[in-house]
Every structure is written in C-alpha cells, then in structure tokens.
Amino acid sequence: MLLVPTLRVLMRQEVAGAANVPAGGAFVLAPNHTTNLDPVTMGLALWDIGRPPHFLAKESLFRVPVLGALMRATSQVPVARAGGGRGPDPVRAAREIARRGGSVIVYPEGSLTRDPALWPMRGKTGAVRIALEAGIPLVPAVHWGDQEILPTYGRPRLWPPRRRVRIVFGDPVDLSPWRDGPVDQAALRAGTDLLMASIAALLAGLRGEAAPVERWDPAAHGQSEIGRIDP
C-alpha cells in the first residue's frame, strides 16, 4: 500500500482479535462505517495481518485518475450506487475474488451511518449473501477513532498527529442455520440482523457504552441512503 507511511503518521492503530481473521482462504469482512477514512483504516489493519484487502467501492472512484488505475490493479470491485445496474455485478465480482481465496470487505450499511451518535444502522444483505453463496466465513469488525482524523462530513484534522484508532475483529458470524437452505430474502434478512447485532456489540465494547436496541433506519427518518446528508 502506497499510503502506508502517511497512515502511520496519522494514526496509531491498536488491533484486537486478529486471530479471528482467517490466515488463508476466502472470507468476507464486514466493518462499521463512520467516515470516508474507514477503508484505508481497515485496509492497513488487514495489510499488517498479512491479508491484502479487496473492497466493494463506489464506481465513481474508478474514474479518478491514478486512484482508479490503482484500484483496478489491486482487484477492487466497483459498485454502482444508483441507476440501471449497467456496470459490473458486484456480487459476482466479489464471488470471483472469494473463489481465488481472497478477502472481500463489504460495508453492510451501504453508506456512512446516518445514526447521529455514529452507531451502526440497519444493514443491507450483500455481505451475508456473498458469504452464504460462496460458503465462506463472515467476520464482523469495528473501528473507532479514525472519525477524529476525518469527521463524517468535515475537514481533515491533521493535528495532533498519530491519533489512537482501535480496531476489533470479532468471531465469525454463525450462519449455520441458513447454510443448507435456500438463500432467500428471509435467510438474508435474518443473517444480516445477526451480523449487525454483532457489529453493534463489538462497537459497544470499544466505546464502553450500550448500543441502541434498534438499528437506525434512514427511511424512517426521511433520509436518503445515498450521498451526503446534513449533519
């Protein structure tokens, strides 16, 4: 990763639960999402563990000069955020990476959390679908502290340097109740609810406070799930 030296200056990572990341073979990693810095935060942590990351990333990023070429060269997966779905099938691309034994990072919330207190919101089913259809582990993960470097919708805070960022990799989510049955909407929704509960519990441990019983639902609050929202 070309950004590694800069990241070392910006943050001091403290990683727990690294043993929960499979040492080999394919898996899906599902982290919380609080800031646009999250992908590099989680990418650095996986890099240090020895598992190069592959992200499902916004298709628009692939049109950015240099960055787009770098993302294609490292097998990142473009995701169309809206429209007629004329781009590559992200689930199919992620399955191909999994078939080759790679790690696939999927943000199950689909966008930066809309929860005012930055708790995980209601999840989408893509991460569970990939894990079930490919028959691979689904590992929840959380990080806390990188939002102090790049606030959710704010300017970077580059001083003081080396802010503390804590990361926890959780136990793989138990998807066994749905492994042998049809991968239908009921199975995907139940598995996703279990995943988001795992992520919320991990983050509660990091923050030292109780997570909300119910996940934030943007639709119930009149919020778009795509693009920037007013803080």
* pLDDT tens figures, 1-29: 556 677 777 788 999 999 999 999 999 99
Predicted pLDDT at 53? 83
Tens-digit pLDDT profile for residues 200-215: 999 999 999 999 999 9
Please say if the pLDDT value at position 192 is more than 60.
yes
List C-alpha distances in Å: 80 to 86, 108, 226: 8, 15, 11
Who's near 5: CB < 8 A, 6+ residues apart?
A: none
pLDDT in tens, 126-179: 899 999 988 999 999 999 998 988 888 778 877 767 788 999 999 999 999 999
What gap in Å lies between CA 4 and CA 85, rounded to an integer?
Answer: 34
Confidence at 231, pLDDT banded by 50, 70, 90: low
CB burial of residue 229 (10 Å; 0-12, 13-18, 19+): middle
pLDDT of 194 above 50:
yes
Rounded to two decimals, the pTM is 0.85
What pLDDT, on the 0 to 100 scale, is given for residue 151?
A: 85
Starting at the edge strand found earlier in the chain, the sheet holding 163-169 runs 11-16, 163-169, 138-144, 27-31, 103-105
